[in-house]
Amino acid sequence: MTALPKLIFELSREGKIGCGLNEADVPAEAVIDASFRRTGISDFPEVSEVEIVRHYMALARLNYSVDAGFYPLGSCTMKYNPKINEKLAAADELQAHPYAPHDLVQGNLEIMARLEEWLVALTGLAGFTLTPAAGAHGEFTGMLIIRKYLQEKGDARKVVLIPDSAHGTNPASAHFAGYEIREIPSNAQGIIGIEELRAHLKPDVAALMMTNPNTLGIFESNISAIAEALHANGSLLYMDGANLNALLGIVRPGDLGVDVMHINLHKTFATPHGGGGPGSGPVGVAAHLLPFLPVPRIKKSKDRYEVVYDDPCSIGRVKNFYGQFLVMVRALAYLLALGRENVRRVAEDAVLNANYLRKRLEGSLDLPYPASSLHEVVFSDKDLPVKTLDIAKRLLDYGIHPFTIYFPLIVHGAMMIEPTETESKETLDEFVSVMGTILREARENPELLRQAPVQTPVRRLDETLAARKPVLKWSRGESI
């Protein structure tokens, strides 16, 4: 096994230089008192350029990525990230200052306006804000919009309903928008039953947050009836669009009665996830909520794009500048490449791949919710001699990134598998075969799985130690 790279600080040697910057060619004059100026930065790295390259190349080799292989992380839609999009996003002519006068950045404003048009066409909603930085930020923005709308109507209400299968960001986002959370249990089919909803639908309910398809990969087939019941109660339907990939070109959430939804550009629209962001979480709304969208808004007047910074009903500003612009560039590039000929095929292949895996695996793994699957399938570790964690860790030894584990919380030892449409049949077959091997190992030699992984750069890491005695930075002379 290869030795792990040192930390950049451990490579540092006094006097080494990693960049070729010239000194100022103006006089070295300061107008700040010496008592306000620092003398140096203790222990800051001093490393040569070649050592920096080798350091990060060594780190790169320790990472698994979509570029390296299959990454069926459920609810994360780890599809292939087209390489041309990186080049387009890096183009010099797009790198303008965010306060550049609008006549100098008509191209950038057009990119955002065209992306908004695409999102409107795909969702059937009336308009989008592109400013939210990530999915959870979109949820929070959506909740602020709902609250402001109801406030304007004179009844802000107190409660947001969230099913027990929801992602943790849903309750957290609603909470920071000032709402109390009331949890609704999923029914035996794994979806929100209309009766369960009615039982919770009191006059203080502002909205229901529904992920659709939900985190079990199941379509919330009562959605239209749910929307009707909510609207009759003066409540709104928020849709978490994390799993929109399954619906592209198949059905438009706006046609199902959805009032507000966010979309993850870094999931559905193929922008790279960067090991934890930057993402981008545009929020779409039905027509009656358009005035409440955050600023800035891009408007076309004649053939010029303009930016509106003030809107009397707007919830205000949720982020600096325009949002994650270069993520938007990549998303638009992806959509333009797909075109109307392929958007539907994306959803169809994603759902086909998930159902193929389901069919191939359902004989050997417990399927707690047998309702039909869309883009992902969730198995449990019921009746297995090992835990889900052990199977996940053993997959690492076979060079495959595990599925999402232990989520949703309503499934015991959940294994949430989302292959996406960018995987070939060969890859899926290989995965099924590896799973078969692992399940055989689990029966014959479960200890092998409990010890896994053994092929990775490090073995299982002690997370309890990390949390009990947090070491969050390197310090000279200290070791763990």
Taking CB under 8 A as the criterion, which residues in 213-252 touch another protein? 218-219, 221, 223-224, 247, 249-252
Minimum gap (Å) between residue 317 Cβ and another protein:
4
Q: Rule CB under 8 A: which of 357-386 touch another protein?
A: 359-360, 371-372, 374
- Nearest-10 Cα torsion for 212, 258, 175, 181: -70
Query: Could you give phi then psi for residue 127, rounded to 5 degrees?
Result: -170, 160
Is 292 one of the binding residues for another protein (CB under 8 A)? no
Q: Rule CB under 8 A: which of 96-135 touch another protein?
A: 96-101, 103-108, 110-111, 118, 121-122, 124, 133-135
Is 408 one of the binding residues for another protein (CB under 8 A)? no
Choose, by CB under 8 A, the member of 210, 318, 417, 438 that binds another protein. 318
Minimum gap (Å) between residue 336 Cβ and another protein:
5
Count of residues touching another protein (by CB under 8 A): 202
Please check whether residue 421 is in contact with residue 353, taking contact to mean a CB–CB distance below 8 angstroms.
yes
Of 35 and 383, CB closest to another protein: 35
Of 166 and 384, CB closest to another protein: 166
Minimum gap (Å) between residue 74 Cβ and another protein:
11
Minimum gap (Å) between residue 350 Cβ and another protein:
10
Minimum gap (Å) between residue 456 Cβ and another protein:
4
Please check whether residue 211 is in contact with residue 239, taking contact to mean a CB–CB distance below 8 angstroms.
yes
Beta bridge pairs of residue 307: 298
Minimum gap (Å) between residue 5 Cβ and another protein:
7
Tokens standing for 471? 């070491």
Q: Rule CB under 8 A: which of 339-358 touch another protein?
A: 339-346, 348-349, 351-353, 355-356
- Side chain identity at residue 355, one-letter code: N
Choose, by CB under 8 A, the member of 129, 165, 173, 215 that binds another protein. 173
Choose, by CB under 8 A, the member of 203, 234, 274, 436 that binds another protein. 274
Minimum gap (Å) between residue 221 Cβ and another protein:
5
- Side chain identity at residue 53, one-letter code: V
CA 64 distance to own-chain centroid: 18
Is 40 one of the binding residues for another protein (CB under 8 A)? yes
Is 203 one of the binding residues for another protein (CB under 8 A)? no
Q: Does an H or E element contain 326, and which?
A: helix 325-361
Q: Rule CB under 8 A: which of 183-202 touch another protein?
A: none
Distance CA 224, CA 442 (A): 44
Minimum gap (Å) between residue 384 Cβ and another protein:
19
Stretch that binds another protein, among 169-177, 228-236, 282-290, 380-388 (CB under 8 A): 169-177
Tokens standing for 361? 């695996």
Tell me whether residue 191 is exposed, middle or buried, using C-beta atoms within 10 angstroms of its C-beta: 0 to 12, 13 to 18, 19 or more: buried
Choose, by CB under 8 A, the member of 203, 364, 447, 474 that binds another protein. 474
Is 60 one of the binding residues for another protein (CB under 8 A)? yes
CA distances from 478 to 8, 44, 47, 305, 458 (A): 15, 16, 21, 56, 21
Is 21 one of the binding residues for another protein (CB under 8 A)? yes
Query: What angle is formed at CA 300 by the lines to CA 279 and CA 316, rounded to 5 degrees?
Result: 50
Is 313 one of the binding residues for another protein (CB under 8 A)? no
Of 8 and 289, CB closest to another protein: 8
- Nearest-10 Cα torsion for 161, 165, 167, 172: 30
Distance CA 179, CA 160 (A): 6
Distance CA 198, CA 217 (A): 23
Choose, by CB under 8 A, the member of 320, 363, 383, 444 that binds another protein. 320
Distance CA 53, CA 155 (A): 58
Distance CA 42, CA 51 (A): 20
Minimum gap (Å) between residue 385 Cβ and another protein:
21
Q: Rule CB under 8 A: which of 414-473 touch another protein?
A: 421-425, 451, 453, 456-463, 465-467, 470-473
Choose, by CB under 8 A, the member of 115, 119, 125, 136 that binds another protein. 136
Among 270, 220, 212, residue whose Cα is nearest residue 241: 212
Tokens standing for 18? 């990693």
Minimum gap (Å) between residue 67 Cβ and another protein:
3
Is 56 one of the binding residues for another protein (CB under 8 A)? yes
Distance CA 132, CA 324 (A): 8
Please check whether residue 447 is in contact with residue 394, taking contact to mean a CB–CB distance below 8 angstroms.
no
Of 298 and 443, CB closest to another protein: 298
